[in-house]
Structure 1
Amino acid sequence: MNRPKLKRIPRHIGVIPDGNRRWAVKNGLPKEAGYEKGLEPGLMLYEMCVELGIQELTFYGFTQDNTRRPSVQRQAFQKACVDAVNMLAHRDASLLVIGDYHSPLFPRELLPYTKRHTFGKDLIRINFLVNYGWKWDLSHAQKHFLSSANAPARGLLDSIASAEISRIDLIIRWGGRRRLSGFLPVQSIYADFYVVDELWPDFAPEHFYQALNWYETQDITLGG
């Protein structure tokens, strides 16, 4: 499928790259082998977003709930997240990793990226959710408002852990599941949600273009 001519593109896209384990099983591999197969699709999607002028892109890496999986799988998706950030580092982007970095389950290699780092021409903002949990995210606001010293200074939405991530226009989930799985509940409040039935390691450019074509047909009112 050729690149479509788009009259309206989303400013911020969220990506839920699901289906890595199912892909591995389908191909006769152990479940943990599927995570590294999701790295190249992420790089392809980055390049397509830069070409289209997408301003912000957020990837769902792994959640706090995911860490209850067997240790061999946990180690595999932790490594995949580190590799993904390293692949995009030093390109024309600014990178931010959001997640509970106080936990030992947060990869130590990603600690420098818990503050946004800008590289090259800074053509796109990229956010990775790593060891992320929606309760963890929102609890930051609760802690803020329990502090009488800080409460008057900042509002609720400015106090969540992911406050630096902007409102999402379009969420695309690969792998056929019809759920958000706790993906940035505040920023997703008015997002359109598109599901790709193919598994994430089977990513193809037409999946992304089909999502963008669908998005063009949506009536974006933001409740108005």
Structure 2
Amino acid sequence: MEKFKRLPQHIGIIPDGNRRWAQSNGLNKQEGYAHGIDPGLDLYRLCLELGIGEMTFYGFTVDNTKRPSEQTAAFQKACVDAVEKLKDRDADLLVVGNTNSPLFPKELLPYTERTKFGKGLIKVNFLVNYGWNWDLNYPIKNDLLHSSEDITKGIASSGISRIDLILRWGGRRRLSGFLPIQSIYADFFILDEMWPDYNREQAYRALRWYQDQDVTLGG
């Protein structure tokens, strides 16, 4: 295994390009999501092997649910299937998303409180039916905000720590509302490959780049 002089302790993953990959392979757009599950599991295994302490996957957003119903059903199922596969591994799982919506998969409700599988060696967070506006307004909507308190302590995603490195597959140069508080000082690495075409060399490329970045957190 490749060695690194410095590794991020928390990586964020934006697994984009599923629909484009499907079309380029002669499939319907919605068929691409199922092909994104195994890449996520392999990246999980790599992070576990490297000793990275936390990873957050962008499952789907509130805005994504405006897509055709067959696509919405497909990415909902992909998120549920991914979590089901993690149950056989040493993950410390948390699912964050708007559970008041009927578009939140009910199968994932038990994991909206952090749940340890096996030895719970790595924190794995899934953003499911997530919206940045919903997240930041959560303390106001739920009467959790008091004048003397830090607003970030009451946001819906408060159980997720600050992110060091964000990896986005699919070539797009944008955050797309991905955890605006935790991403504030994250380095951002773009991969032009579509997410279903993931391989470990792509992750190594990002980690090689990261270890040479100057991390100051504004100081």
Q: TM-score range by the shorter chain?
A: over 0.9
Number of aligned positions between the proteins:
219
| Structure 2 partner of 1:67 | 65
Structure 2 counterpart of 1:43 = 41
Which amino acid is 1:73 matched to? Q
Distance in 1, Cα, partners of 2:201 & 2:14: 17
1:180 aligns with one of 166, 175, 179: 175
Deviation of residue 181 (structure 1)? Answer: 0.2
Cross-structure match for 2:135? 137
Alignment correspondent of 1:19: 17
Q: Cα RMSD over matched residues?
A: 1.2
1:220 aligns with 2:218: no
- The TM-score normalised by the length of structure 2 is 0.97
Identical-residue share of aligned pairs (%):
64
Whole-Å Cα distance in 1 between the matches of residues 141 and 17 of structure 2? 35
Counterparts of 2:140 and 2:215 in 1: how far apart (Å)? Answer: 31
For the residues of structure 2 that align with 1:37 and 1:164, how far apart are their CA atoms?
28
Q: Aligned to 1:136, what secondary structure does the other structure show?
A: helix
2:53 paired residue among 55, 64, 70: 55
The TM-score, its normalising length taken from structure 1, stands at 0.95
CA distance in 2 between counterparts of 1:119 and 1:27 reads 35
Aligned residue in 2 for 1:95: 93
Unpaired stretches in structure 1, ≥5 consecutive residues? none
Runs of 4+ in 1 over 4 A off after TM superposition: none
Q: How much does 1:141 deviate?
A: 2.7
Q: Quick one: which amino acid aligns to residue 83 of structure 1?
A: D
* Structure 2: gaps spanning 5 or more residues: none
Q: Which residue of 2 aligns with 1:157?
A: 152
Name the amino acid aligned to 2:85. M
- SS at 1:157 equivalent: helix
